[in-house]
Chains A and B, each alone.
Chain A
């Protein structure tokens, strides 16, 4: 995995954002503003809100994993605690405290920061396995406390609140999903921008240096522990922001927001997206949320597919989706991207059919084993058939075999095209 940054340390001293750099941000903002006109249903907005929260959370996680080289198994703690505090503050607003809702994420962020400061004071002393294990231990401890300290965490049921009780902001009371969406993307953009800027500051750069070589960074006069601690605190702040956004969106927080499963899934999100790239976690969060919500609607096996995707991602493209895209930077720079288009298109159909037919085999097997008794009728990809016999599964297997065979035939072609697209000397 190539985590090494390509820009030298001096970059931090130059201007943080140039005009050409602001273009992608403006475009992203415009895109997000327009999205609700395309997807109007409330559930689509809910999914997009969820995506935005996951993006903020994953980006804050990547401040540790990608930028600082710290593998954490307990990052949900900071998001969860930030969220719980934000929820309590939200309930205090209901009780008369004056605080407009859009400012709530600052509250959650501050509490995330405070806890990251406290826990980081001992956990960031070392990187590597020791850090990972402490994060696991602290995560389990706090998740367990959530069931014991009922006054604060609300036990198994969690705590809930009502976001509409605060003072109206420009006449908005955040009654509809759409208003909440705009609030969420405002914070999404702001948090993403701030995290991006953080990665460009000298301290962000030193974090990379500590990740790559602790000793050398020490020799340069930087305390590796302090550097890690600072980025840990920053990461905790943004995790807390994500937690508050969760509180605003779902109006409920439970033990689930703190536990190991949540910490694990954010690792998965970040890694699938590509921990070595700033945009990696964004891609990961979008893919993960879509898989979880949309695929989850269509098949019971969604988590099996997610597991397969995750493991094959680690094995075959450890730099994640962002890495796959970044691989094409060189052919693009050489102006030879077009060489790849034809073989890709050629491979597309067999690849898609082989994935679909392999999934079909799993689905049919699953239906045979666990389907409702006597109910052999099964609908897959819009085709209804009988799953009890062997015809359906045999057919899926034959299609899978043929398409896999085709894929294996096309692979050398892709490889050849890839090689020629990456070679500087050309015949153009």
Chain B
């Protein structure tokens, strides 16, 4: 058997099918997220989820313009730098791409959002739309909101609303320690925690409210000592990446065995790093749910994801909504070129997601409203594990259409 021949044959077949596929219209989506450097895992995972969604929910069922068109993901590596993102945005626009997707880091998201707004102001006839799939700084849909930005993840306030529901329902929790990274997102989490706890459980005492330098703390032990010393019954943190691992491990090894509520305390190596110690302690608040999935279709969808990408986790469920909702908007408009009309079609769209249940893109601030869950780390009854660690996150509190009536300070200017 000659493998080289087979290789050549597949090459020819591939190029032929590419030729056929060219007859179909390709609608390109620029995916601008870190694909190299320390946050590459997040970016790679997101890209995989997008690719899987585009394939399973849009292209194969022929859901875009009756099968006349297909979505195609075009990855751009922004190295999680604002400057690099703007360059990649420029490259993407030069290639004729008018749909931009990004999510890792709120700092980058606000830079991109601003750049997109500026571009659209300077070129009103050739606008660009920005789909934000995971940057959750509330400002993006409040003070900094703008017409061309759409957020598909629950923002920090919405997540805190669901999280504090869980805390409020637990009478054992009387003292809470809030700790986070010293920047806009960390501050937003701390402010939201104070506000919601005061509202829902005025008897709870916030025994610590602390910000630490982002990415600079080598050893979290002194912080862990303060937390243990404060007699807290629960910890709330918005930490991500290395700061999450460091804080979590330090708290646990200092002898703390109460719940640790996190925004990003799972997947990307974190679940594996916490291991057995984190079982029953680490909680995660996020959009959608993986264990158990919301619908049988969702379960099928996630299962095929793990088949296609055995090394990655289905860690950001809300991202699976972006492509189908965009497809619905394109279908409503009837073409993929009138970006302004597509943006108007997305506003107020209602969508039945197989992952996050009933989902609405709120018109007033372009913030998606969907199911938000509080999940706990456990090795039992896990359909889809994280980091191949034999454990995963199981839904504990499920809030449908979370914070659907929450207030916004957004004053949207529409073109």
Q: Which residues of A contact B (CB under 8 A)?
A: 41-44, 46-47, 50, 144, 147-148, 155-158, 160, 162, 164, 175, 177, 246, 250-252, 254, 256-257, 293, 296-297, 300, 302-303, 370, 372-375, 377, 383-386, 389, 391
Complex Cα–Cα for A374 and B51 (A): 14
Contact B11 A252 (CB under 8 A): no
Complex Cα–Cα for A257 and B94 (A): 26
Contact A158 B82 (CB under 8 A): yes
Smallest beta-carbon distance B127→chain A, Å? 15
Contacts of B307 in A (CB 8 A): 374
Besides A156-B214, A157-B106, A158-B107, 9 more A-B contacts (Cβ < 8 Å) are A46-B91, A160-B114, A251-B115, A256-B83, A372-B48, A372-B309, A373-B310, A374-B307, A374-B308
Contacts of B86 in A (CB 8 A): 46, 250, 252
Complex Cα–Cα for A299 and B94 (A): 20
Contact A43 B90 (CB under 8 A): yes
Contacts of B218 in A (CB 8 A): none
Contacts of A164 in B (CB 8 A): 122
Contacts of B154 in A (CB 8 A): none
Contact A147 B183 (CB under 8 A): yes
Complex Cα–Cα for A155 and B180 (A): 14
Q: Which 8 pairs of residues, A with B, have the shortest CB-CB distance? A: A156-B183, A373-B310, A43-B91, A43-B94, A157-B107, A41-B94, A43-B90, A156-B107
Complex Cα–Cα for A157 and B183 (A): 8
Q: Which residues of B contact A (CB under 8 A)?
A: 3-4, 7, 10-11, 14, 35-37, 40, 48, 76-77, 79, 81-83, 86-87, 90-91, 93-94, 106-107, 110-111, 114-115, 118, 122, 182-185, 213-214, 216, 307-312
Name the residue of chain A whose CB is nearest to the CB of B110. Answer: A157
Contacts of A46 in B (CB 8 A): 86-87, 90-91
Contact B309 A158 (CB under 8 A): no
Name the residue of chain A whose CB is nearest to the CB of B51. Answer: A372
Contacts of B79 in A (CB 8 A): 296
Contact B87 A374 (CB under 8 A): no
Chain B residues touching A, majority SS: helix
Smallest beta-carbon distance A31→chain B, Å? 23
Contact B83 A384 (CB under 8 A): no
Contacts of B35 in A (CB 8 A): 300
Smallest beta-carbon distance B16→chain A, Å? 12
Smallest beta-carbon distance B114→chain A, Å? 6
Name the residue of chain A whose CB is nearest to the CB of B36. Answer: A300
Contact B87 A50 (CB under 8 A): yes
Contacts of B308 in A (CB 8 A): 372-375
Given known pairs A374-B308, A374-B310, A391-B3, the reply for A147 and B182 (CB within 8 Å) is yes
Q: Can you identify 25 A-B contacts, CB atoms within 8 angstroms?
A: A42-B90, A46-B86, A47-B87, A50-B87, A147-B214, A148-B213, A156-B184, A157-B82, A157-B107, A157-B183, A160-B111, A160-B114, A164-B122, A177-B90, A251-B118, A252-B114, A254-B82, A296-B36, A372-B308, A372-B309, A372-B311, A373-B311, A374-B309, A384-B14, A386-B7
Complex Cα–Cα for A302 and B79 (A): 12
Contact A144 B7 (CB under 8 A): no
Smallest beta-carbon distance B137→chain A, Å? 8
Contact A252 B4 (CB under 8 A): no
Contacts of B83 in A (CB 8 A): 246, 250, 252, 254, 256-257
Contact B77 A300 (CB under 8 A): yes
Contacts of B107 in A (CB 8 A): 156-158, 254
Per a CB cutoff under 8 Å, which of A43, A155, A257 touches B87? A43
Complex Cα–Cα for A303 and B115 (A): 27
Contacts of B40 in A (CB 8 A): 300
Complex Cα–Cα for A41 and B94 (A): 6
Contacts of A293 in B (CB 8 A): 87
Smallest beta-carbon distance B160→chain A, Å? 19
Smallest beta-carbon distance B33→chain A, Å? 13
Contact A373 B87 (CB under 8 A): no
Complex Cα–Cα for A389 and B4 (A): 11
Complex Cα–Cα for A9 and B33 (A): 53
Name the residue of chain A whose CB is nearest to the CB of B123. Answer: A175
Interface core residue of A41, A50, A250 (most chain B CB under 10 Å): A250
Smallest beta-carbon distance A90→chain B, Å? 13
Per a CB cutoff under 8 Å, which of A256, A374, A385, A391 touches B81? A256
Smallest beta-carbon distance B291→chain A, Å? 20
Contacts of B184 in A (CB 8 A): 155-157
Complex Cα–Cα for A302 and B36 (A): 9
Name the residue of chain B whose CB is nearest to the CB of A303. Answer: B36
Complex Cα–Cα for A158 and B4 (A): 53
Complex Cα–Cα for A300 and B37 (A): 9
Complex Cα–Cα for A354 and B133 (A): 42
Interface core residue of B40, B82, B90 (most chain A CB under 10 Å): B82
Contacts of A374 in B (CB 8 A): 307-310
Complex Cα–Cα for A64 and B311 (A): 48
Contact A147 B114 (CB under 8 A): no
Smallest beta-carbon distance A80→chain B, Å? 12
Contacts of B185 in A (CB 8 A): 156
Name the residue of chain A whose CB is nearest to the CB of B12. Answer: A384
Complex Cα–Cα for A104 and B93 (A): 28
Name the residue of chain B whose CB is nearest to the CB of A44. Answer: B94
Contacts of A246 in B (CB 8 A): 83
Contacts of A157 in B (CB 8 A): 82, 106-107, 110-111, 183-184
Complex Cα–Cα for A174 and B408 (A): 34
Contact B77 A296 (CB under 8 A): yes
Contact A391 B87 (CB under 8 A): no
Smallest beta-carbon distance A33→chain B, Å? 22
Smallest beta-carbon distance A296→chain B, Å? 6
Contacts of A160 in B (CB 8 A): 111, 114
Given known pairs A251-B115, A300-B77, the reply for A42 and B93 (CB within 8 Å) is yes
Complex Cα–Cα for A144 and B213 (A): 8
Complex Cα–Cα for A157 and B309 (A): 33
Contact B94 A42 (CB under 8 A): yes
Contacts of A50 in B (CB 8 A): 87
Complex Cα–Cα for A383 and B10 (A): 11
Name the residue of chain B whose CB is nearest to the CB of A299. Answer: B36
Name the residue of chain A whose CB is nearest to the CB of B308. Answer: A374
Smallest beta-carbon distance A252→chain B, Å? 5
Contacts of B11 in A (CB 8 A): 383-385
Smallest beta-carbon distance B142→chain A, Å? 14
Name the residue of chain B whose CB is nearest to the CB of A177. Answer: B90
Smallest beta-carbon distance A185→chain B, Å? 18
Name the residue of chain A whose CB is nearest to the CB of B182. Answer: A147
Name the residue of chain B whose CB is nearest to the CB of A386. Answer: B7
Complex Cα–Cα for A302 and B215 (A): 24
Smallest beta-carbon distance A115→chain B, Å? 21
Smallest beta-carbon distance B407→chain A, Å? 23
Complex Cα–Cα for A144 and B212 (A): 12
Name the residue of chain B whose CB is nearest to the CB of A293. Answer: B87
Contact B10 A384 (CB under 8 A): yes
Complex Cα–Cα for A164 and B3 (A): 59
Complex Cα–Cα for A385 and B111 (A): 39
Contacts of A42 in B (CB 8 A): 90, 93-94
Complex Cα–Cα for A316 and B180 (A): 47
Contact B216 A373 (CB under 8 A): no
Contacts of A41 in B (CB 8 A): 94
Smallest beta-carbon distance A298→chain B, Å? 10
Complex Cα–Cα for A156 and B111 (A): 11
Contact B87 A144 (CB under 8 A): no
